[in-house]
Amino acid sequence: MRDETEGLASAAPQPKLKPANENPWYVLMTLYGDDHDRNRAVWNAWAGRALTKGERQKLVDDGVIVAADFLDWENIHDEIVSKFDAEFRRRNEPHCSVPNFPDPRHPIRLSKITVEHSLELQRWCFPSSVYISLVCFNGDVDFDDALFLGDLSIRRTVFECGVNFLGASFFGRTSFSATFGDDVSFSISKFYKSIVFHDSEFKGYVSFSRVVFSEDANFIDTIFKRRSSFEMARFQGRARFLDVVFG
């Protein structure tokens, strides 16, 4: 059996990773199983609660999200909360009690879990800061055209398969300390604040083609084992590559 913490580089003993279904945000993300369109509709309606009507309209006017992605939360609130409680109980009882329903105004935290299946998060809106720490993703993860309205921090995390951030928008500070086991694309994404890759490793092809770095971009102690592309990337702040290895 494969060690689920393999690749989570640290001198300290590694914590045991729990099943993703014990994490309330993961259960909300996957509330309707493989019905990705319905999962996105529910998530974005939930996310819209954290935004004012003006903020939602500005995202629509700026073309970063379509109005249809913001359903009226009040119309579906009772159904979704009831579904969340039932689904969390079904996936976890009797060993894990049902937590409070997540509040979109609070940080989103995925920590010390193994995600066994692929995640399709295209056009998802993350309304607050996202913290991903000590997670092993065993399937593809797709963030195409996703909106990160707060900070994004990904630490000591392993992506075993492909990862796509194609066309994603990062409005807060972004930091990665991760191992990417397969190809990764950040093409045509935009970072509005500073971005840091620290102690990261790209084992497959990685594309930063046509990415806009509005502020400083820092690549520190990072390894690119295969080909990487920064074709037509725009560095509007400082670009720093310190102790970086290109394969």
Q: What are the mean pLDDT values of the chain's consecutive 10-residue runs (247 residues total)?
A: 40 75 98 95 94 87 76 91 96 90 97 97 96 98 96 97 97 98 98 97 98 98 97 97 94
pLDDT at 94: 83
d(CA 170, CA 151): 8
**C-alpha closest to that of 132 among 104, 105, 113:** 113
d(CA 50, CA 48): 5
d(CA 22, CA 98): 9
**C-alpha closest to that of 151 among 178, 135, 132, 179:** 132
pLDDT at 96: 85
202 beta partners: 180, 224
154 beta partners: 132, 176
pLDDT at 214: 98
d(CA 42, CA 76): 8
Output the CA–CA distances (angstroms, integers) from residue 76 to 72, 99, 152, in the order listed.
7, 20, 28
Tell me how long the chain is.
247
d(CA 109, CA 51): 19
215 CB burial (10 A radius; 0-12, 13-18, 19+): middle
Q: Which residues of 96-114 are buried (b: 16+ CB within 10 A; e: fewer)?
A: eeeeeebebeeebbbbbbb
- 38 Rama class: left (phi>0) / alpha (psi -120 to 50) / beta: alpha
SS3 of residue 78 by DSSP: helix
38 beta partners: none
SS3 of residue 133 by DSSP: strand
d(CA 129, CA 47): 12
Which single residue is written with the structure tokens 């920064």?
Answer: 230
H-helix or E-strand spanning residue 241: strand 239-242
